[in-house]
Structures are given as structure tokens and as C-alpha cells.
């Protein structure tokens, strides 16, 4: 079937500041895989970081790599032993495929699998292309009324769902979220959908805070360089200390704010990734028995994220601020890097997106 496809093109990062849209081979679906005609792919901060810096921590771009991992598309060929999908199915694609055999996988924490293959994480190719081959059991059918763009948004929303699950967000929770970028925003939306009574957000950008308030944040606060001062403003605004804080910026001062601002016995969840080492008020947290929990991507969250979107409990459409065709991918990345966008979507196929 691949001989009848249009020529595949993909957005390939060759080195820092060197992005090229170029021909790319199409992989035939192997056992348990499907070939997907890509439709929507969102640009993540990690994609931009690889483009501008060539690495994230120990993940270093050493060879040309296709970018993109927030994606959806249409199944056009099914490999052997695939039972859950058929040609023509519209799907959202969970980008991390684990080994399925290690203890982490068997106990349901497959995001911690040491052998996970994650799209657009060196050396694994991503999905900004006309065609992409993926494990069928990490593809989820989209209901007819859910657009491809909304399907692609299941990826960042899954991070928010996982963060809120790790934090124990439930009915009546009072939640502080530091950082009003895309992950902070989806964490806020997930927290509200999961029953949070109040969600207060901080950021250094007033425009991002204004947007957060517009789409549902209970309160917003412009962060001060002094973490204790910001924490105090949070407490005064709420009239109490939040029992859960979700840190989504990676900035040292914001992490400190969550420590100072969370109630004794509460939970701090660290989502944002900043410097490897940070100066933190650890004694303050220890003597007040604050639980500190890490977050790495997500596990078992795609069905919940898709349900939240399909049911209308979360509307991600306002977060999509810019759209580009695949042949405009470089311009799309320039927009994502400019800081003017919330979420940039690349349209890889020809079907209606939104």
C-alpha cells in the first residue's frame, strides 16, 4: 500500500537552529502496529528546546531527528495481529511506547520504564510528517465529534491529569499552580474537572495570567522575585493555605513559592523541569510534613484525557492560538518560540481539523 501513498515529508532537526522539511521514508506497520496518515501535531516546549539548544538534560540530538509528539491522525494500514483498530479509524497517539515486560510496566507505571520509546526524544523520530507508524495499543479512537486538534491535545492534557492524580486533587481541593504556560493551563483545567474548589495561578507574565483567568482560573497573581512574598500573597488571596501545589514552571523561585505556600501536611507536585540543582527550603517542608512528588510524563491517562475532552468537561480549543500547514512548519516553530502563542498546531493532512 505504501507505493500508492503521497511522498512522505517530515520536519527534521539536523542540529541547533537547523530545521528542514524533507522527504522521509515510510515504515510498513509491523506486528501490532498501524500506519497513520497524520493530521494534527502540536508543538511542545521540548520540541522548541531541542531546536534551539540541541539537548534536554541527558537527551542529546546527535543525529537528524523528526520532531513532534502531540499528535493525531487516521489509520490507513493495519499490521498483523492488530485487533483494536481498522483502516479509517481516527486516533489520538500516545507517544511513549514502553517495553510492557519490566516491573514498572507490569505495575502500571510504564512511564518509568527504562526502555520506553518516546517520539521526538533522541534518538527516536517524532510525528511531524505526512505518515507515521505506531504501536496500535498506544492509539485511541476519537469519537466522531472530537476533532483531530482536540485529539492531539490529549498529550499535554494527560500531563495535567497525571499531575492532578499524583497530587490527589479531589472535591474541595484548594490548588496553587505556579506557571501559566500550556502545562500549567491544562493542569488548572484538569484540577477543576476533578473537583478542585479553587485554583490560583502565578506567573511572571500578566498576559498569560489574564488568559488563565479567562479560561477558568479562580485567581491569578503576578509572581514576585521573592518567593516568600509571592506565597504570602497567595495565602492572603485565598484566605488560607492551599492544600495542593503543582509547580509547572521549573523556575527555582516558583518551586520555593510552592514550599512556602502549601499548608502543613499538604502536597507539592513538581512538573516543570528547570536546572538540575535548585536551592530549596527543605527544612521548612520537612518539619511541616509536606509531601514532595515528582511527575514524569503520564501513565494510563489518555483515556481520561480523551473522556474529559469528549464529554465537554474540558474545552481545549481556546488554547490553540495558531495554526500552520506542514509546509509552514519552520514558521510554526518560530511562532512557538516567540512566546506569543499558547499552543501552535501543525496541520499535516488535508482533513478538516477544527
pLDDT tens, position by position, 52-104: 999 998 899 999 999 999 999 999 999 999 999 999 999 999 999 999 999 99
19 in any annotated domain: yes
Same domain, 132 and 199: no
236 in any annotated domain: yes
17 in any annotated domain: yes
Same domain, 143 and 171: no
- In terms of C-beta distances under 8 Å and separation of at least 24 residues, what long-range contacts does 122-125 make, across chains too? 122/50, 122/55, 122/59, 122/60, 122/61, 122/62, 122/63, 122/65, 123/62, 123/63, 123/65, 124/65, 125/10, 125/65, 125/66
- Taking only the tens place, the pLDDT of each residue in 165-221 is 999 999 999 999 999 999 999 999 999 999 999 999 999 999 999 999 999 999 999
Same domain, 136 and 181: no
Does the pLDDT of residue 3 top 50, yes or no? Answer: no
Same domain, 120 and 69: yes
The mean per-residue pLDDT over the stretch 21-35 comes to: 97
Please tell me whether the overall predicted TM-score, pTM, comes out greater than 0.85 for this model: yes
Same domain, 85 and 222: no
- Taking only the tens place, the pLDDT of each residue in 218-263 is 999 999 999 999 999 999 999 999 999 999 999 999 999 999 999 9
354 in any annotated domain: no
* Cβ–Cβ < 8 Å for 37, 130: yes
The domain in which residue 167 lies consists of: 160-294
220 in any annotated domain: yes
Same domain, 279 and 321: no
| Percentage of residues of the chain with pLDDT beyond 70 | 98
Same domain, 147 and 166: no
199 in any annotated domain: yes
Does the pLDDT of residue 352 top 60, yes or no? Answer: no
The C-alpha atoms of residue 305 and residue 308 are separated, in whole angstroms, by 5
The predicted pLDDT at position 353 comes to 54
83 in any annotated domain: yes
Same domain, 29 and 125: yes
CATH of residue 31's domain is: 3.90.180.10
Same domain, 329 and 277: no
The predicted pLDDT at position 6 comes to 81
Summary mean pLDDT of the chain: 96
Same domain, 269 and 232: yes
Same domain, 167 and 141: no
Cell of 31: 506486528
Domains of the chain: total: 2
Same domain, 35 and 130: yes
* Cβ–Cβ < 8 Å for 194, 213: no
- In terms of C-beta distances under 8 Å and separation of at least 24 residues, what long-range contacts does 12-15 make, across chains too? 12/64, 12/65, 12/66, 12/67, 13/50, 13/51, 13/61, 13/64, 13/65, 13/66, 13/67, 14/64, 15/54, 15/61
CATH of residue 225's domain is: 3.40.50.720
204 in any annotated domain: yes
The predicted pLDDT at position 4 comes to 67
The mean per-residue pLDDT over the stretch 339-344 comes to: 94
Amino acid at each position: 500500500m505504501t507505493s500508492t501513498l503521497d511522498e512522505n515529508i517530515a520536519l527534521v532537526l539536523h542540529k541547533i537552529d537547523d530545521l528542514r522539511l524533507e522527504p522521509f521514508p515510510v515504515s510498513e506497520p509491523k506486528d501490532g502496529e498501524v500506519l497513520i496518515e497524520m493530521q494534527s501535531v502540536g508543538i511542545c516546549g521540548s520540541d522548541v528546546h531541542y531546536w534551539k539548544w540541541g539537548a534536554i538534560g541527558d537527551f542529546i540530538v546527535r543525529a537528524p531527528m523528526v520532531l513532534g509528539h502531540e499528535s493525531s491522525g487516521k489509520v490507513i494500514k493495519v499490521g498483523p495481529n492488530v485487533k483494536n483498530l481498522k483502516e479509517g479509524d481516527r486516533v489520538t497517539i500516545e507517544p511513549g511506547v514502553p517495553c510492557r515486560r519490566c516491573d514498572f510496566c507490569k505495575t502500571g507505571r510504564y512511564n518509568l520504564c527504562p526502555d520506553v520509546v518516546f517520539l521526538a526524544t533522541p534518538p527516536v523520530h517524532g510525528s511531524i510528517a505526512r505518515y507515521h507508524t505506531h504501536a496500535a495499543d498506544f492509539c485511541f479512537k476519537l469519537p466522531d465529534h472530537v476533532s483531530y486538534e482536540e485529539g492531539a491535545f490529549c498529550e499535554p492534557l494527560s500531563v495535567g491529569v497525571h499531575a492532578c492524580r499524583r497530587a490527589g486533587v479531589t472535591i474541595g481541593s484548594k490548588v496553587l499552580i505556579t506557571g501559566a504556560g500550556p502545562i500549567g493551563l491544562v493542569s488548572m483545567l484538569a484540577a477543576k474537572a476533578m473537583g478542585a474548589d479553587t485554583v490560583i495561578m502565578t506567573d511572571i507574565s500578566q498576559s498569560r495570567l489574564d488568559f488563565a483567568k479567562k479560561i477558568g482560573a479562580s485567581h491569578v497573581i503576578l509572581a514576585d522575585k521573592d518567593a516568600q512574598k509571592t506565597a504570602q500573597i497567595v495565602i492572603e488571596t485565598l484566605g488560607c493555605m492551599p492544600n495542593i501545589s503543582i509547580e509547572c514552571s521549573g523556575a527555582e523561585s516558583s518551586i520555593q513559592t510552592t514550599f512556602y505556600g502549601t499548608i502543613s501536611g499538604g502536597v507539592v507536585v513538581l512538573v516543570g523541569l528547570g536546572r538540575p540543582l535548585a536551592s530549596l527550603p527543605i527544612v521548612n517542608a520537612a518539619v511541616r510534613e509536606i509531601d514532595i512528588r515528582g511527575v514524569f510524563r503520564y501513565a494510563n491517562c489518555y483515556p481520561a484525557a480523551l473522556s474529559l475532552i469528549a464529554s465537554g468537561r474540558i474545552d481545549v480549543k481556546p488554547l490553540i492560538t495558531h495554526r500552520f500547514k506542514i509546509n509552514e512548519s519552520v514558521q510554526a516553530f518560530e511562532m512557538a518560540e516567540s512566546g506569543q502563542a499558547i499552543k501552535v498546531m501543525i496541520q499535516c493532512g488535508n482533513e478538516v481539523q477544527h
